[in-house]
């Protein structure tokens, strides 16, 4: 099934000059970029993205740190489209916690902080990217970061092989 998903390159991914490498990994797997922009998040938009559900699951402290983290600098928002795109994008990104991410994934290759270290030092886990967790989340998150007229449908050579 053709799906859409959201990936955010977080401020550490931008400041470490990894945007091109991250985009390349999705495109190499036949995932189409249908929306792309660099922006500076604000607390209001970040609070919608990291909603009350995050607070219920992980606590207010973690939610506040996530909001702070995504507001540290510019981010790059990617709206992606492809076959089983939500799951494929998450596999490309790797485990949320970099020290648990497999080599060959974005986080496994470029991030290094563990959640234990982050929690002990009251830091954010710098994990470079966010990827929507499921199809419903993807639909909601794309609407947070993109207007409908910022998403583009087009044909790519890969489509004729699918």
Catalytic residues: 130
CA 126, CA 13: separation in Å to the nearest integer?
9
| Contact criterion met (CB below 8 Å) for 89 and 5 | yes
Distance of CA 155 to the CA centre of its chain: 24
- Crossing angle of helices 19-28 and 85-93, in 10° steps, is 130
Burial of 57 (0-12, 13-18, 19+ CB in 10 A): exposed
CA 78, CA 105: separation in Å to the nearest integer?
17
| Contact criterion met (CB below 8 Å) for 10 and 130 | yes
Which helix (H) or strand (E) is 15 found in, with range?
Answer: helix 11-15
């Amino acid at each position: 099934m053709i799906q859409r998903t959201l990936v955010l390159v977080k401020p550490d991914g931008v400041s470490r000059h990894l945007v091109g490498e991250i985009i390349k990994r999705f495109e190499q797997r036949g995932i189409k970029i249908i929306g792309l922009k660099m922006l500076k998040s604000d607390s209001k938009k970040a609070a919608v993205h990291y909603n009350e559900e995050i607070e219920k699951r992980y606590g207010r402290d973690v939610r506040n740190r996530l909001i702070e983290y995504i507001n540290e600098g510019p981010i790059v928002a990617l709206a992606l489209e492809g076959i089983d795109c939500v799951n494929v994008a998450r596999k490309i990104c790797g485990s949320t916690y970099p020290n648990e991410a497999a080599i060959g994934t974005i986080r496994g290759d470029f991030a290094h902080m563990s959640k234990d270290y982050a929690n002990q030092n009251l830091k954010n886990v710098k994990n470079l990217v966010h990827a929507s967790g499921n199809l419903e989340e993807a639909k909601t998150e794309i609407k947070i970061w993109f207007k409908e007229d910022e998403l583009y449908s087009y044909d790519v050579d890969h489509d004729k092989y699918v």
